[in-house]
Structure 1
Amino acid sequence: MRTITLRRSLVALFAAAISFGAITQAQAEELRIGYQKYGTLVLLKAKGTLEKRLAEQGVKVTWTEFPGGPQLLEGLNVGSVDFGVTGETPPVFAQAAGADLLYVAYEPPAPTSEAILVPKGSSLSSVADLKGKKVALNKGSNVHYLLVRALEDAGLSISDVTPVYLPPADARAAFERGSVDAWVIWDPFLAAAEQQLQARSLRNGEGLVDNHQFYLATRPYAQKHPQVINILIEEVRGVGEDSKADPDAVTAQVAPLLGLSPEITRVAVKRQGYGAQPLTPAVVQAQQKIADTFTELRLIPKKLSIKDVIWTPPVGALAKVAQQ
């Protein structure tokens, strides 16, 4: 019964957003980007080069911050943003709920940038020790899949723990109060908890998940304005190259925006994957495995086809971008 209720609530998270109205057709004069407190979009926003480049074409860029991937995809669903970045799992639940979204690019794996944490004084020493415990996580987020995989690897299932679904800020408060036994979270919240709370990691994503970051757009916007999407991905890729070449400079730039110390920010910056690219068949297959896993767990109601929601830019649009 709990599995059925969980499935309905996860899918409802996105279906409710769709019920407020269809995705509105975005205007070419504006690109509305949804971002989270991590990742390359934060770096791109700080750099300001995208705004300058698109301003030459009369396109204004606006930014909206979201606490997590599921909430960001709700924004895409209701038409409040045109483009955003999330972890692996939110797009699966969004697709299951009928969201009209397209995967447009991905970042290389970053499995160490998410983990299952316990308080520094906890007696828990392995994932197997989580049986019967309360675990905080953001429902439908990338760490949801990490928890499922980690439990499976330890011979358990999601039904062996009590999930406590909270966004990052509320989850941290519950973690500090001792209201939950563990917290599954991503950077920079992960790095902050490790350094500020001396939280201990039971397991990160290594050997379990890729933790790809995916860039998504509403289908209407991507199809009508492929040149804008291509420019955006080019700029994201450029910021990634800057980050790999000089992480300290990027840290100094981004730390004030995140409200975190340079020491915490540097850890998160270095653990991130950089190099946005169009999705490869191997990445599509990996994402399909995630979708199939949640279908088997009955957390989504039907089998999905990830390859059906992959964006392929028109050749003409690519050529025009290359000439700019």
Structure 2
Amino acid sequence: MIFTGSAQAEQTLRIGYQKFNSLNILKSTGALERALAPEGIRVAWYEFAAGPQLLEAMSTGAIDLGHAADAPSVFAQAAGKPVVYLAAEQPYPKGIGILVSKDSPITDVAGLKGQRVATGRGWNAQYLLAVALQQAGLSYKDIQPAYVSNAADAVAALQSGSVAAATLWDPFLAAAEQKQPVRNLRDGEGLTNNRTFYLSTAAFADTHRALLHTFFSELAKASTWANAHPKDVAQLLAPQLGIDASTLEVASSRRNYNAVAITPAIVAEQQRLADTFQGLGLIPHAIRIQDAVYPATVVP
């Protein structure tokens, strides 16, 4: 939280978001701004290409609150960034995938052995790749990861033929499936719940508990509406995100936007993810997810 002037009445809540999430919907409605205006709080929104960049900004104090997927959240904790879990969205396993070109001779995940695969460090789709390889009797070391920093670069690498496969998440996954000659070898169904988490710092949450309650109350209203109106969500977000409505409708129809409190079962999910990455040597040491869970409930 920053001050835009000397008075308490000139506070600004800084929220980080990525393309396609309930935060996009909340931003579009203006409901949070209306709810906070009587308290003299304005809202500033900052878009990030992916979770790792958003969480880096949070750790340096550039934003107060935001969302990221399961894997970036684990990588941030492993790197010692002072971020805490506030809430989680519902499972979204079909929102991630491993794509190959439509005419690729690769027909299953086992066929990725020895191949170059475009993915990002700390992506939710990187975790999908790791556990899908394990299920196929392979390990992460059996492929050649080609690390990229955003979804556009992953798609470009697949299109150029410099990689045999690419990992993606919605809405970029839906866009590729709708617009590109690709096949989805594997989504997250049965492998990973692919949750989105809402995160902040303990210092911010301790000081602004009432504000967080207002934030999650308004988010719940937007999410409930979104779950019932995927077509309307697509029409609402298309101009904001620069992605066509038909693609967004596909992505939205396979998602549940509602946020819930962090439960022991969700902590266990994240712990399995963290242990997998640590076992692969992708994070330097073991971590305890519970240590990064904010101890107070902020979801109404």
State the TM bucket, normalised to the shorter chain. Answer: over 0.9
2:215 corresponds to which residue?
232
Q: 1:293 aligns with which of 251, 273, 276?
A: 276
Q: Which amino acid aligns with 2:215?
A: L
The answer as to whether partners of 1:131 and 1:161 remain within 8 angstroms in 2 is yes
In 2: Cα distance, 1:197 partner to 1:107 partner:
29
Q: Name the structure 2 match of 1:257.
A: 240
Write the letter of the residue equivalent to 1:310.
V
- Count how many residue pairs are aligned between Structure 1 and Structure 2: 293
Residue 245 of structure 1 pairs with residue 205 of structure 2:
no
What is the aligned partner in structure 2 of residue 45 from structure 1?
Answer: 27
Task: Work out whether residues 31 and 218 of structure 2, in 8 Å CA contact, stay in contact via their aligned partners in 1.
Answer: yes
Q: Could you say which residue in structure 2 is the equivalent of 1:198? A: 181
CA–CA distance in 1 between the matches of 2:182 and 2:239?
Answer: 23
Q: Find the counterpart in structure 1 of residue 75 from structure 2.
A: 93
Partner of 2:138: 156
> Is 1:61 aligned to 2:46, yes or no?
no
The answer on whether the counterparts of 1:244 and 1:274 sit within 8 Å (CA) in structure 2 is yes
Aligned partners of 1:107 and 1:273 also within 8 Å = yes
Within the alignment, does 1:118 sit opposite 2:100 as a pair? yes
Question: What is the match of residue 127 of structure 1?
Answer: 109
Aligned residue type for 1:131 = K
Aligned partner of residue 168 in structure 2, secondary structure = strand
Amino acid in the other structure paired with 1:304 = I
In 2, the alpha carbon distance for the partners of 1:230 and 1:26 equals: 19
**What residue ranges of structure 1 are gaps of 5+ in the alignment?**
1-24
Aligned-pair identity in percent equals: 44
Aligned to 1:207: 190
Q: What RMSD, in angstroms, separates the aligned Cα atoms of the two structures? A: 1.6
1:266 maps to which of 220, 242, 249: 249
The letter of the residue matching 2:51 is G
CA distance in 1, matches of 2:275, 2:123: 16
Q: Which moved more, 1:128-137 or 1:238-247?
A: 238-247
Q: CA deviation at 1:56?
A: 1.5
Counterpart-to-counterpart distance in 1, 2:212 and 2:151:
29
Matched, 1:106 2:107: no
> Contact 1:105–1:233 at 8 Å: present in 2 too?
no
User: Would you tell me which structure has more strand in proportion to its own residues?
Assistant: 2
Partner-residue secondary structure (3-state), 2:260: coil
Alignment partners' CA distance in 1, 2:2 and 2:129: 36
Preserved CA contact (<8 Å) 1:46 1:253: yes
Name 1:219's counterpart in structure 2. 202
CA distance in structure 2 between the aligned counterparts of 1:181 and 1:62, rounded to whole angstroms: 40
- Bigger mean CA deviation after superposition, 63-72 or 171-180: 171-180
Spell out, residue by residue over 1:53-86, the C-alpha distance to the aligned partner (whole angstroms, 9 max, x if none): 1111111111111111111111111111111111
SS of the residue 2:177 aligns to: helix
User: What residue number does 1:6 align with?
Assistant: none
Shift of 1:26: 4.9
- Asked whether 1:72 is paired with 2:54, we answer yes
> TM-score, normalization: structure 1?
0.87
Which amino acid is the alignment partner of residue 33 of structure 1? I
Task: For structure 2, list consecutive stretches of 5 or more residues without a partner in the other structure.
Answer: none
The one-letter amino acid paired with 1:113 is: G
TM-score by length of 2: 0.94
Superposed displacement of residue 301, structure 1? 2.1
Q: Report SS of the residue matched to 1:118.
A: strand
Residue 142 (structure 1) aligns with: 124
Tell me by how many angstroms 1:280 deviates.
0.8
User: Stretches of 4+ moved more than 3 A in 1?
Assistant: 25-28
Corresponding residue to 1:82 among 60, 64, 67: 64
Instruction: Compute the displacement of 1:221 (Å).
Output: 0.9
Contact between 2:154 and 2:167, CA under 8 Å: does it hold in 1?
no
